[in-house]
Protein backbone atom coordinates (compact mmCIF):
# COMPACT_ATOMS: atom_id res chain seq x y z
CA UNK A 1 0.00 0.00 0.00
CA UNK A 2 1.32 3.34 -0.94
CA UNK A 3 0.92 6.19 1.56
CA UNK A 4 1.00 9.72 0.31
CA UNK A 5 1.01 12.68 2.69
CA UNK A 6 -1.04 15.54 1.49
CA UNK A 7 -0.57 18.87 3.23
CA UNK A 8 -3.72 20.78 4.09
CA UNK A 9 -4.65 23.47 1.59
CA UNK A 10 -3.48 26.39 3.73
CA UNK A 11 -0.72 28.94 3.70
CA UNK A 12 0.52 28.08 7.18
CA UNK A 13 4.16 27.64 6.17
CA UNK A 14 4.16 30.81 4.10
CA UNK A 15 2.61 32.70 7.01
CA UNK A 16 5.36 31.43 9.29
CA UNK A 17 7.99 32.52 6.80
CA UNK A 18 6.44 35.98 6.49
CA UNK A 19 6.11 36.26 10.28
CA UNK A 20 9.75 35.27 10.74
CA UNK A 21 10.80 37.76 8.10
CA UNK A 22 8.84 40.54 9.85
CA UNK A 23 10.49 39.67 13.17
CA UNK A 24 13.90 39.73 11.51
CA UNK A 25 13.21 43.17 9.99
CA UNK A 26 11.97 44.50 13.34
CA UNK A 27 14.99 43.09 15.16
CA UNK A 28 17.38 44.57 12.60
CA UNK A 29 15.62 47.96 12.78
CA UNK A 30 15.70 47.98 16.58
CA UNK A 31 19.39 47.13 16.51
CA UNK A 32 20.09 49.88 13.96
CA UNK A 33 18.17 52.48 16.01
CA UNK A 34 19.89 51.38 19.19
CA UNK A 35 23.32 51.71 17.61
CA UNK A 36 22.57 55.17 16.18
CA UNK A 37 20.95 56.72 19.23
CA UNK A 38 22.15 60.21 19.99
CA UNK A 39 23.07 61.01 23.54
CA UNK A 40 20.57 63.23 25.33
CA UNK A 41 21.65 66.87 25.05
CA UNK A 42 20.18 67.72 28.43
CA UNK A 43 22.43 66.83 31.29
CA UNK A 44 20.81 65.95 34.57
CA UNK A 45 21.38 68.27 37.50
CA UNK A 46 23.03 67.40 40.81
CA UNK A 47 20.74 67.48 43.83
CA UNK A 48 22.04 70.86 45.01
CA UNK A 49 20.98 72.61 41.80
CA UNK A 50 17.48 73.45 40.61
CA UNK A 51 16.23 74.01 37.05
CA UNK A 52 14.99 77.55 36.42
CA UNK A 53 12.46 76.41 33.84
CA UNK A 54 10.79 73.42 35.41
CA UNK A 55 11.43 73.52 39.16
CA UNK A 56 10.36 77.05 40.15
CA UNK A 57 6.94 78.46 40.98
CA UNK A 58 5.60 81.24 38.72
CA UNK A 59 6.43 83.77 41.45
CA UNK A 60 9.98 82.48 41.73
CA UNK A 61 10.42 82.58 37.95
CA UNK A 62 9.41 86.24 37.95
CA UNK A 63 11.83 87.16 40.74
CA UNK A 64 14.61 85.17 39.07
CA UNK A 65 14.14 87.02 35.76
CA UNK A 66 14.37 90.39 37.54
CA UNK A 67 17.37 89.27 39.61
CA UNK A 68 19.23 88.14 36.50
CA UNK A 69 18.83 91.63 35.02
CA UNK A 70 19.74 93.30 38.31
CA UNK A 71 22.94 91.24 38.41
CA UNK A 72 23.98 92.70 35.07
CA UNK A 73 23.21 96.23 36.22
CA UNK A 74 25.04 95.67 39.53
CA UNK A 75 28.11 94.55 37.58
CA UNK A 76 28.03 97.79 35.59
CA UNK A 77 27.48 99.89 38.74
CA UNK A 78 30.29 98.08 40.54
CA UNK A 79 32.71 99.04 37.76
CA UNK A 80 32.40 102.62 39.00
CA UNK A 81 33.00 101.74 42.67
CA UNK A 82 31.71 99.46 45.41
CA UNK A 83 28.69 97.20 45.28
CA UNK A 84 25.50 99.29 45.43
CA UNK A 85 23.16 99.04 48.42
CA UNK A 86 19.57 97.89 48.09
CA UNK A 87 18.43 101.50 48.48
CA UNK A 88 20.65 102.53 45.55
CA UNK A 89 19.19 99.78 43.39
CA UNK A 90 15.65 100.76 44.38
CA UNK A 91 16.47 104.36 43.47
CA UNK A 92 17.51 103.11 40.02
CA UNK A 93 13.99 101.63 39.72
CA UNK A 94 15.54 98.18 39.45
CA UNK A 95 13.21 95.29 40.32
CA UNK A 96 13.05 93.22 42.47
CA UNK A 97 14.73 95.82 44.75
CA UNK A 98 12.35 98.62 43.72
CA UNK A 99 8.80 98.03 44.99
CA UNK A 100 6.33 96.94 42.33
CA UNK A 101 2.58 96.35 42.30
CA UNK A 102 3.20 92.69 41.48
CA UNK A 103 5.46 92.04 44.50
CA UNK A 104 2.66 90.43 46.51
CA UNK A 105 2.01 87.94 43.71
CA UNK A 106 5.66 86.90 43.78
CA UNK A 107 6.16 86.28 47.48
CA UNK A 108 6.62 89.80 48.90
CA UNK A 109 10.39 89.50 49.38
CA UNK A 110 12.25 91.85 51.71
CA UNK A 111 15.68 92.64 50.27
CA UNK A 112 18.89 93.39 52.11
CA UNK A 113 22.61 93.41 51.39
CA UNK A 114 24.99 91.57 53.64
CA UNK A 115 28.58 92.09 52.57
CA UNK A 116 28.78 90.91 48.99
CA UNK A 117 25.42 89.09 49.08
CA UNK A 118 21.91 90.23 48.30
CA UNK A 119 19.24 88.37 50.28
CA UNK A 120 15.53 88.35 49.43
CA UNK A 121 13.65 86.98 52.43
CA UNK A 122 10.30 85.55 51.37
CA UNK A 123 7.21 87.13 52.89
CA UNK A 124 5.00 84.29 51.69
CA UNK A 125 6.80 80.92 51.43
CA UNK A 126 3.71 79.34 49.81
CA UNK A 127 4.28 81.56 46.78
CA UNK A 128 8.08 81.69 46.63
CA UNK A 129 11.16 80.75 48.61
CA UNK A 130 13.99 83.06 49.67
CA UNK A 131 16.63 84.18 47.17
CA UNK A 132 20.32 84.81 47.55
CA UNK A 133 22.27 86.56 44.80
CA UNK A 134 26.06 86.57 44.71
CA UNK A 135 27.28 89.10 42.11
CA UNK A 136 30.05 88.01 39.80
CA UNK A 137 30.73 86.88 36.27
CA UNK A 138 28.57 84.92 36.05
CA UNK A 139 26.42 85.81 39.08
CA UNK A 140 25.11 82.96 41.24
CA UNK A 141 21.48 82.84 42.35
CA UNK A 142 20.43 80.46 45.12
CA UNK A 143 17.00 79.55 46.45
CA UNK A 144 15.95 78.20 49.83
CA UNK A 145 12.46 77.18 50.91
CA UNK A 146 10.78 79.33 53.53
CA UNK A 147 12.16 82.47 55.14
CA UNK A 148 15.90 81.89 55.19
CA UNK A 149 18.45 84.17 56.84
CA UNK A 150 21.66 85.47 55.28
CA UNK A 151 24.31 82.74 55.49
CA UNK A 152 27.41 83.46 57.55
CA UNK A 153 29.53 81.55 55.05
CA UNK A 154 28.66 82.11 51.36
CA UNK A 155 30.84 79.27 50.09
CA UNK A 156 29.15 76.70 47.89
CA UNK A 157 29.59 73.87 50.40
CA UNK A 158 28.17 75.93 53.26
CA UNK A 159 25.15 77.01 51.23
CA UNK A 160 24.48 73.44 50.13
CA UNK A 161 24.61 72.13 53.66
CA UNK A 162 22.34 74.96 54.84
CA UNK A 163 19.63 73.84 52.40
CA UNK A 164 20.20 76.39 49.63
CA UNK A 165 20.01 75.20 46.01
CA UNK A 166 21.61 77.00 43.10
CA UNK A 167 19.20 78.02 40.32
CA UNK A 168 20.56 77.16 36.88
CA UNK A 169 19.21 78.00 33.46
CA UNK A 170 20.18 75.42 30.86
CA UNK A 171 20.52 77.16 27.54
CA UNK A 172 21.80 74.06 25.76
CA UNK A 173 18.38 72.51 26.34
CA UNK A 174 16.68 75.30 24.44
CA UNK A 175 18.35 76.01 21.15
CA UNK A 176 16.40 74.88 18.11
CA UNK A 177 18.92 75.79 15.45
CA UNK A 178 21.35 73.25 14.19
CA UNK A 179 24.72 74.70 14.88
CA UNK A 180 27.22 73.38 12.35
CA UNK A 181 29.97 74.12 14.82
CA UNK A 182 28.34 72.13 17.59
CA UNK A 183 29.92 68.94 18.79
CA UNK A 184 27.73 65.95 18.04
CA UNK B 1 26.55 68.65 25.77
CA UNK B 2 26.61 71.00 22.88
CA UNK B 3 29.42 73.51 22.74
CA UNK B 4 28.06 76.55 20.95
CA UNK B 5 29.70 78.93 18.57
CA UNK B 6 29.96 82.25 20.33
CA UNK B 7 31.34 85.62 19.48
CA UNK B 8 33.68 85.26 22.39
CA UNK B 9 35.34 82.28 20.77
CA UNK B 10 37.30 81.69 17.59
CA UNK B 11 35.21 83.83 15.19
CA UNK B 12 36.20 86.83 17.28
CA UNK B 13 39.69 86.59 15.90
CA UNK B 14 38.40 86.73 12.34
CA UNK B 15 36.10 89.58 13.21
CA UNK B 16 38.77 91.54 15.04
CA UNK B 17 41.04 91.20 12.05
CA UNK B 18 38.27 92.38 9.75
CA UNK B 19 36.89 95.23 11.81
CA UNK B 20 38.77 98.47 11.92
CA UNK B 21 38.42 100.33 15.19
CA UNK B 22 36.94 103.45 13.67
CA UNK B 23 34.34 101.63 11.58
CA UNK B 24 30.74 101.69 12.72
CA UNK B 25 29.36 98.28 13.63
CA UNK B 26 26.94 96.69 11.16
CA UNK B 27 24.67 94.34 13.08
CA UNK B 28 22.12 92.03 11.48
CA UNK B 29 18.86 91.23 13.28
CA UNK B 30 15.95 88.95 12.46
CA UNK B 31 12.95 90.43 14.29
CA UNK B 32 11.55 93.91 14.90
CA UNK B 33 12.20 94.03 18.68
CA UNK B 34 15.86 93.20 18.13
CA UNK B 35 16.04 96.01 15.59
CA UNK B 36 14.69 98.49 18.15
CA UNK B 37 17.09 97.28 20.84
CA UNK B 38 20.18 97.35 18.63
CA UNK B 39 19.28 100.76 17.23
CA UNK B 40 19.16 102.13 20.78
CA UNK B 41 22.29 100.31 21.94
CA UNK B 42 24.38 101.33 18.94
CA UNK B 43 23.11 104.89 18.53
CA UNK B 44 25.47 106.70 16.16
CA UNK B 45 28.13 104.00 16.56
CA UNK B 46 26.58 101.45 14.25
CA UNK B 47 23.89 100.40 11.86
CA UNK B 48 21.15 97.83 12.47
CA UNK B 49 20.28 95.77 9.40
CA UNK B 50 17.07 93.68 9.33
CA UNK B 51 17.55 90.36 7.55
CA UNK B 52 13.82 90.09 6.78
CA UNK B 53 12.26 92.83 4.66
CA UNK B 54 9.19 94.66 5.92
CA UNK B 55 5.92 92.88 5.28
CA UNK B 56 7.20 89.32 5.70
CA UNK B 57 5.89 87.19 8.55
CA UNK B 58 8.86 85.49 10.25
CA UNK B 59 6.64 82.53 11.17
CA UNK B 60 6.47 81.60 7.48
CA UNK B 61 9.56 83.30 6.10
CA UNK B 62 11.76 81.56 3.54
CA UNK B 63 15.10 83.25 2.76
CA UNK B 64 15.49 84.88 -0.64
CA UNK B 65 18.73 85.47 -2.52
CA UNK B 66 18.55 89.26 -2.16
CA UNK B 67 18.04 88.91 1.61
CA UNK B 68 21.00 86.56 1.93
CA UNK B 69 23.21 89.05 0.08
CA UNK B 70 22.50 91.55 2.86
CA UNK B 71 24.60 89.41 5.22
CA UNK B 72 27.70 90.02 3.09
CA UNK B 73 28.25 93.49 4.51
CA UNK B 74 27.56 92.68 8.20
CA UNK B 75 30.00 92.40 11.12
CA UNK B 76 27.81 90.27 13.38
CA UNK B 77 24.27 88.84 13.60
CA UNK B 78 22.13 88.87 16.74
CA UNK B 79 19.81 85.88 17.01
CA UNK B 80 16.81 84.89 19.10
CA UNK B 81 18.19 81.35 18.68
CA UNK B 82 15.46 79.47 20.54
CA UNK B 83 12.91 78.94 17.82
CA UNK B 84 11.87 82.21 16.23
CA UNK B 85 14.59 82.74 13.65
CA UNK B 86 15.83 79.32 12.66
CA UNK B 87 15.93 80.51 9.05
CA UNK B 88 18.90 82.75 9.90
CA UNK B 89 21.23 79.81 10.21
CA UNK B 90 20.51 78.79 6.62
CA UNK B 91 20.92 82.38 5.46
CA UNK B 92 24.32 82.72 7.09
CA UNK B 93 25.46 79.34 5.76
CA UNK B 94 24.45 80.35 2.22
CA UNK B 95 26.06 83.79 2.41
CA UNK B 96 29.59 84.74 1.48
CA UNK B 97 30.35 84.87 5.23
CA UNK B 98 29.38 81.41 6.53
CA UNK B 99 31.60 81.99 9.58
CA UNK B 100 29.72 85.14 10.52
CA UNK B 101 30.00 85.80 14.29
CA UNK B 102 26.69 85.25 16.05
CA UNK B 103 25.40 86.62 19.35
CA UNK B 104 22.92 84.34 21.09
CA UNK B 105 20.76 86.98 22.76
CA UNK B 106 18.83 84.50 24.89
CA UNK B 107 21.88 82.85 26.33
CA UNK B 108 21.29 84.20 29.86
CA UNK B 109 17.49 84.55 29.85
CA UNK B 110 15.58 82.30 32.26
CA UNK B 111 13.31 80.57 29.76
CA UNK B 112 9.76 79.36 30.22
CA UNK B 113 8.47 76.04 28.93
CA UNK B 114 6.04 76.23 26.02
CA UNK B 115 2.39 76.07 27.07
CA UNK B 116 0.51 73.27 25.33
CA UNK B 117 -2.04 74.01 22.67
CA UNK B 118 -5.63 73.26 23.54
CA UNK B 119 -5.30 70.34 21.17
CA UNK B 120 -2.78 68.76 23.51
CA UNK B 121 -5.50 68.60 26.12
CA UNK B 122 -7.65 66.64 23.70
CA UNK B 123 -5.55 63.55 23.51
CA UNK B 124 -3.18 64.13 20.61
CA UNK B 125 -0.21 63.64 22.94
CA UNK B 126 1.81 66.51 21.54
CA UNK B 127 4.84 66.69 23.77
CA UNK B 128 5.40 70.15 25.15
CA UNK B 129 7.47 69.57 28.25
CA UNK B 130 11.19 69.12 28.49
CA UNK B 131 13.08 70.66 25.65
CA UNK B 132 10.38 72.84 24.07
CA UNK B 133 10.68 76.42 25.28
CA UNK B 134 8.67 79.49 24.51
CA UNK B 135 10.77 81.53 22.09
CA UNK B 136 8.98 84.87 22.66
CA UNK B 137 11.35 86.26 25.26
CA UNK B 138 11.38 89.51 23.26
CA UNK B 139 7.74 90.18 24.23
CA UNK B 140 8.45 91.32 27.76
CA UNK B 141 10.50 94.11 29.25
CA UNK B 142 12.31 91.69 31.55
CA UNK B 143 13.34 89.44 28.67
CA UNK B 144 14.23 92.48 26.59
CA UNK B 145 16.58 94.01 29.17
CA UNK B 146 18.31 90.69 29.81
CA UNK B 147 18.98 90.31 26.09
CA UNK B 148 20.07 93.94 25.79
CA UNK B 149 22.66 93.31 28.52
CA UNK B 150 23.90 90.12 26.85
CA UNK B 151 24.19 91.75 23.43
CA UNK B 152 25.88 94.86 24.83
CA UNK B 153 28.48 92.80 26.70
CA UNK B 154 29.22 90.73 23.60
CA UNK B 155 29.54 93.79 21.35
CA UNK B 156 31.71 95.58 23.92
CA UNK B 157 33.98 92.56 24.17
CA UNK B 158 34.57 92.71 20.46
CA UNK B 159 34.88 96.46 20.15
CA UNK B 160 36.43 97.70 23.41
CA UNK B 161 36.75 101.16 21.83
CA UNK B 162 32.94 101.35 21.85
CA UNK B 163 32.37 99.66 25.22
CA UNK B 164 31.63 102.85 27.19
CA UNK B 165 29.12 104.44 24.81
CA UNK B 166 27.39 101.10 24.15
CA UNK B 167 27.06 100.43 27.90
CA UNK B 168 25.76 103.95 28.54
CA UNK B 169 23.24 103.64 25.71
CA UNK B 170 22.11 100.23 26.92
CA UNK B 171 21.69 101.39 30.52
CA UNK B 172 19.71 104.48 29.50
CA UNK B 173 17.47 102.41 27.23
CA UNK B 174 16.94 99.74 29.92
CA UNK B 175 16.07 102.47 32.43
CA UNK B 176 13.46 103.83 30.03
CA UNK B 177 11.96 100.37 29.54
CA UNK B 178 11.88 99.74 33.30
CA UNK B 179 10.10 103.05 33.83
CA UNK B 180 7.52 102.14 31.20
CA UNK B 181 6.88 98.80 32.89
CA UNK B 182 6.68 100.38 36.35
CA UNK B 183 4.12 102.93 35.13
CA UNK B 184 2.03 100.13 33.64
CA UNK B 185 2.29 98.05 36.80
CA UNK B 186 1.19 101.04 38.87
CA UNK B 187 -2.21 100.62 37.24
CA UNK B 188 -2.53 97.29 39.05
CA UNK B 189 -2.31 98.86 42.48
CA UNK B 190 -6.03 99.67 42.82
CA UNK B 191 -7.19 96.37 41.30
CA UNK B 192 -7.82 93.05 43.06
CA UNK B 193 -5.37 90.25 42.30
CA UNK B 194 -6.26 88.78 38.92
CA UNK B 195 -7.20 85.11 39.09
CA UNK B 196 -9.08 84.46 35.85
CA UNK B 197 -8.11 81.88 33.27
CA UNK B 198 -6.46 83.07 30.09
CA UNK B 199 -6.02 81.61 26.63
CA UNK B 200 -3.98 83.09 23.83
CA UNK B 201 -4.42 82.46 20.13
CA UNK B 202 -0.66 82.44 19.55
CA UNK B 203 1.72 81.20 22.23
CA UNK B 204 3.63 84.46 22.37
CA UNK B 205 2.65 86.22 25.55
CA UNK B 206 3.65 83.98 28.46
CA UNK B 207 6.66 86.16 29.38
CA UNK B 208 4.59 89.35 29.15
CA UNK B 209 1.66 88.01 31.18
CA UNK B 210 4.03 86.56 33.76
CA UNK B 211 5.12 90.15 34.51
CA UNK B 212 1.56 90.77 35.70
CA UNK B 213 1.48 87.55 37.73
CA UNK B 214 -0.83 85.97 35.15
CA UNK B 215 -0.41 82.51 33.68
CA UNK B 216 -1.59 81.28 30.30
CA UNK B 217 -3.89 78.30 30.71
CA UNK B 218 -3.94 77.29 27.05
CA UNK B 219 -2.87 78.27 23.56
CA UNK B 220 -5.30 77.87 20.66
CA UNK B 221 -2.78 77.28 17.89
CA UNK B 222 -1.89 73.58 17.74
CA UNK B 223 1.74 74.48 16.99
CA UNK B 224 3.77 77.67 16.68
CA UNK B 225 2.28 79.70 13.82
CA UNK B 226 -0.06 76.89 12.67
CA UNK B 227 -3.81 77.49 12.41
CA UNK B 228 -6.15 74.81 13.78
CA UNK B 229 -8.04 72.62 11.31
CA UNK B 230 -11.89 72.84 11.31
CA UNK B 231 -12.20 69.76 13.52
CA UNK B 232 -9.51 71.09 15.90
CA UNK B 233 -11.37 74.40 15.97
CA UNK B 234 -14.61 72.70 17.02
CA UNK B 235 -12.78 70.85 19.81
CA UNK B 236 -10.97 74.04 20.77
CA UNK B 237 -14.24 75.91 21.25
CA UNK B 238 -15.58 73.10 23.44
CA UNK B 239 -12.33 73.04 25.43
CA UNK B 240 -12.38 76.80 26.00
CA UNK B 241 -15.86 76.46 27.48
CA UNK B 242 -14.82 73.49 29.66
CA UNK B 243 -11.70 75.23 30.95
CA UNK B 244 -13.73 78.27 32.04
CA UNK B 245 -11.44 80.62 30.13
CA UNK B 246 -12.51 84.23 30.72
CA UNK B 247 -10.11 86.18 28.50
CA UNK B 248 -8.50 85.43 25.14
CA UNK B 249 -5.55 87.48 23.91
CA UNK B 250 -5.49 87.50 20.13
CA UNK B 251 -3.13 88.86 17.47
CA UNK B 252 -3.35 92.54 16.57
CA UNK B 253 -1.59 92.38 13.21
CA UNK B 254 -2.40 88.91 11.94
CA UNK B 255 -6.20 88.52 12.23
CA UNK B 256 -7.61 85.17 11.08
CA UNK B 257 -11.27 84.37 10.33
CA UNK B 258 -11.22 81.45 12.74
CA UNK B 259 -10.52 83.81 15.66
CA UNK B 260 -13.83 85.59 15.00
CA UNK B 261 -15.51 82.18 15.02
CA UNK B 262 -14.08 81.46 18.48
CA UNK B 263 -15.31 84.82 19.75
CA UNK B 264 -18.77 84.32 18.27
CA UNK B 265 -19.18 80.75 19.53
CA UNK B 266 -17.78 81.22 23.04
CA UNK B 267 -18.91 84.79 23.71
CA UNK B 268 -15.50 85.46 25.34
CA UNK B 269 -14.03 88.91 24.83
CA UNK B 270 -10.90 89.06 22.71
CA UNK B 271 -8.09 91.50 23.54
CA UNK B 272 -5.58 91.97 20.70
CA UNK B 273 -1.87 92.18 21.57
CA UNK B 274 1.00 93.12 19.30
CA UNK B 275 3.56 90.45 18.47
CA UNK B 276 5.87 93.30 17.32
CA UNK B 277 6.85 91.58 14.09
CA UNK B 278 4.76 93.62 11.65
CA UNK B 279 5.23 96.98 9.94
CA UNK B 280 8.17 99.33 9.48
CA UNK B 281 11.39 98.87 11.43
CA UNK B 282 11.71 101.81 13.85
CA UNK B 283 13.95 102.39 16.90
CA UNK B 284 10.92 103.26 19.07
CA UNK B 285 8.72 100.39 17.83
CA UNK B 286 9.37 98.13 20.83
CA UNK B 287 8.60 100.86 23.36
CA UNK B 288 5.46 102.06 21.56
CA UNK B 289 3.92 98.64 21.00
CA UNK B 290 4.88 97.25 24.40
CA UNK B 291 3.17 100.24 26.01
CA UNK B 292 0.07 99.39 23.97
CA UNK B 293 0.29 95.76 25.10
CA UNK B 294 0.57 96.79 28.76
CA UNK B 295 -2.47 99.05 28.36
CA UNK B 296 -4.46 96.21 26.74
CA UNK B 297 -3.63 93.75 29.53
CA UNK B 298 -4.54 96.32 32.19
CA UNK B 299 -7.85 96.93 30.42
CA UNK B 300 -8.55 93.18 30.43
CA UNK B 301 -7.76 92.90 34.15
CA UNK B 302 -9.88 95.96 34.94
CA UNK B 303 -12.87 94.71 32.95
CA UNK B 304 -12.67 91.25 34.51
CA UNK B 305 -12.49 92.79 37.98
CA UNK B 306 -15.57 94.96 37.33
Tens of pLDDT, residue by residue over B80-115, are 988 889 899 899 999 999 999 999 999 888 888 776
For chain B, give the percent of residues with pLDDT over 70: 86
State how far the alpha carbon of B51 is from the alpha carbons of B34, B44, B61, B162, in Å.
11, 20, 11, 24
Chain segment B178-191, per-residue pLDDT in tens = 999 888 888 877 77
**pLDDT of residue B192 exceeding 80:** no
Q: Are strands B25-29 and A110-114 parallel, antiparallel or unpaired?
A: unpaired
Rounded Cα gap, residues B80 and B106, in angstroms: 6
User: Mean per-residue pLDDT for A144-150?
Assistant: 87
| CATH code of the region B184-305 | 3.40.50.1980
User: Mean per-residue pLDDT for B118-147?
Assistant: 68
Nearest to B162 by CA among B51, B38, B78, B77: B38
Contact state of A174 with B211 under an 8 Å Cβ cutoff? no
Into how many domains does chain A fold? 1
pTM confidence score: 0.80
Which position has the higher pLDDT, B119 or B70?
A: B70
Contact assessment for residue A177 and residue B89, using Cβ atoms and an 8 Å cutoff: yes
Contact assessment for residue B243 and residue B264, using Cβ atoms and an 8 Å cutoff: no
**pLDDT of residue B123 exceeding 70:** no
Domain that holds residue A138: 49-172
Mean of the per-residue pLDDT values of chain B: 84
Q: Considering the domain boundaries, does residue A24 fall inside one?
A: no
Q: Considering the domain boundaries, does residue A162 fall inside one?
A: yes
Q: Considering the domain boundaries, does residue A166 fall inside one?
A: yes
**pLDDT of residue A147 exceeding 80:** yes
**pLDDT of residue A43 exceeding 70:** no
Confidence tier at B126 by pLDDT (50, 70, 90):
very low
Contact state of B182 with A100 under an 8 Å Cβ cutoff? yes
Distance of CA B84 to the CA centre of its chain: 8
Q: Considering the domain boundaries, does residue A149 fall inside one?
A: yes
Which position has the higher pLDDT, B135 or B120?
A: B135
Q: Considering the domain boundaries, does residue A4 fall inside one?
A: no
- pLDDT value of position B20: 52
Q: How many helices (H) and strands (E) does chain A have?
A: 4, 6
Q: What is the dihedral angle through the alpha carbons of B207, B48, A170, A177, rounded to the nearest 10 degrees?
A: 100
Q: What fold characterizes domain B11-111+135-182?
A: Rossmann fold (3.40.50)
Q: Which residues from chain A sit within 8 angstroms of residue B81, using beta carbons?
A: 175-177
Provide the shortest C-alpha distance from residue A96 to chain B (in Å): 11
- pLDDT value of position B101: 94
Q: Domain residues of chain B, as ranges?
A: 11-111+135-182, 184-305
Query: Positive or negative CA dihedral for B54, B55, B61, B67?
Result: negative
* Contact with chain B for residue A78, Cβ under 8 A: no
**Which of B173-177, B187-191, B257-261 bottoms out in mean pLDDT, i.e. has the lowest?**
B187-191
ipTM metric: 0.73
Chain segment A113-129, per-residue pLDDT in tens = 988 899 999 999 988 99
Rounded Cα gap, residues B41 and B159, in angstroms: 13
Contact assessment for residue B83 and residue B111, using Cβ atoms and an 8 Å cutoff: no
User: Mean per-residue pLDDT for B198-215?
Assistant: 85
Amino acid sequence: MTTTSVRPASARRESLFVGALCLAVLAASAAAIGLHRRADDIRSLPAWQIDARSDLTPGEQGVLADLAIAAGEIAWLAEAGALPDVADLAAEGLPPFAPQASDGLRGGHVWSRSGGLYLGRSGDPRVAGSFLMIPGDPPAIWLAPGTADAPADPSQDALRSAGWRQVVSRYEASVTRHDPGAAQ
Amino acid sequence: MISRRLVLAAPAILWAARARAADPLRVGVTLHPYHSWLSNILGPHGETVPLIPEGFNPHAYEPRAEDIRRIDRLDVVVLNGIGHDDFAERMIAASSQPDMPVIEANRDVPLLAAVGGLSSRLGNNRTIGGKVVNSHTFLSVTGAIQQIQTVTRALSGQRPDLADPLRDNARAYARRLRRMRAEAMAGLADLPAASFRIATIHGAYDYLLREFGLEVTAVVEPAHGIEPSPSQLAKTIAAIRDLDVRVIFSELDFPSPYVATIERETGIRLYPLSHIIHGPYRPDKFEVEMAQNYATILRAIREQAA
